[in-house]
Amino acid sequence: MMGFGGQELVYVSIALFLYFFPSVIAGLRRNKNTLAIFLLNFLLGWTVIGWVIALVWAVKK
């Protein structure tokens, strides 16, 4: 039986960070729409277009 080891945990952590990168940026920049950006990222981030829109929204003033 194969376990869930340290290497897999690192890969999953990196993937989650990259997936939620727009939300992290919005939070760090204290964007007033951080919750909306997070929801967009969470719900549509799996589509490339949704992720890019969330990223652009996060970096805009």
Q: What is the pLDDT of residues 1-60, one digit of tens each?
A: 567 788 889 999 999 999 999 999 999 999 999 999 999 999 999 999 999 999 999 999
- At position 31, the amino acid (one-letter code) is N
* 1 is a domain residue: no
* 51 is a domain residue: yes
pLDDT score, position 4: 76
For the chain, the domain total comes to 1
CA distances from 57 to 11, 15, 26, 33 (A): 27, 21, 8, 9
Task: State the residue range of the domain holding 10.
Answer: 6-59
pLDDT score, position 59: 97
To the nearest 10 degrees (0 to 180), the angle between helices 21-28 and 48-59 is 10
Among 46, 47, 35, 43, CA closest to 57? 35
- Longest CA–CA span in the chain (Å) reads 50
* 39 is a domain residue: yes
